[in-house]
């Protein structure tokens, strides 16, 4: 944010800002997932995080395509919301003594991240359409579909026993 001038003047600027925020978030997630994979003990959970890491890397590429299509500079702005979710997850995980309880904590952390992403992509897609950028909306919709599937996968792992095993 500018000190003397407000740097978001239009919907285009707001869209760009939110896109840069997601670019930061996805890159941060690429950095955080290896740690979550390492900490997971449930093999299904490990696999789910591993495949979402690969998807997240393609999501970063899609965001780069969106920057390009819109003629925007590919850059990231801090996302304090995602930093907070990751920080909280690391704090809680650090306090868990038992493996299966740790899996439950990791599922909860993963789902918080997915829900943040689902909210943000929903908004970005709506704004892209408003701005007449269906090409960008389509790319963003591919990311959104992967986040929703990742969220559902985590729900099914939790329901199929990870939480019960932890109880």
Footprint on this chain of Fe ion (rule: CB under 5 A): 21, 26, 56, 59, 79, 81, 117, 147, 150
Nearest approach in angstroms of CB 77 to Zn ion is 6
Nearest approach in angstroms of CB 110 to Fe ion is 8
Part in contact with Zn ion (CB under 5 A); list of ranges 1-9, 61-69, 82-90, 142-150: 1-9
Which does residue 81 bind out of Fe ion, Zn ion, none, counting CB within 5 to 8 angstroms by kind?
Fe ion
- Separation in Å, CA 44 to CA 5, 106, 119, 122, 158: 50, 12, 26, 28, 10
Nearest approach in angstroms of CB 133 to Zn ion is 21
Nearest approach in angstroms of CB 26 to Fe ion is 5
Q: Exposure of 65 by Cβ count < 10 A (0-12 exposed, 13-18 middle, 19+ buried)?
A: middle
Contact 23, 57 (CB under 8 A): no
Which does residue 151 bind out of Fe ion, Zn ion, none, counting CB within 5 to 8 angstroms by kind?
none
Angle at 20 between CA 79 and CA 131, to 5 degrees: 125
């Amino acid at each position: 944010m500018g000190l003397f001038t407000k740097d978001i003047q239009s919907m285009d600027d707001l869209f760009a800002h939110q896109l840069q925020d997601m670019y930061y978030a996805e890159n941060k997630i690429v950095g955080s997932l290896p740690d979550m994979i390492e900490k997971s003990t449930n093999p299904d959970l490990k696999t789910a995080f591993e495949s979402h890491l690969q998807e997240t890397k393609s999501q970063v590429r899609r965001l780069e395509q969106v920057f390009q299509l819109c003629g925007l500079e590919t850059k990231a702005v801090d996302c304090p919301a995602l930093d907070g979710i990751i920080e909280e997850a690391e704090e809680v995980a650090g306090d868990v003594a038992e493996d299966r309880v740790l899996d439950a904590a990791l599922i909860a952390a993963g789902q918080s991240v997915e829900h943040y992403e689902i909210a943000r992509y929903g908004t970005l897609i709506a704004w892209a359409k408003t701005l007449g950028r269906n090409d960008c909306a389509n790319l963003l919709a591919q990311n959104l579909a992967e986040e929703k599937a990742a969220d559902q996968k985590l729900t099914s792992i939790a329901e199929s026993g990870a939480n019960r095993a932890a109880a």
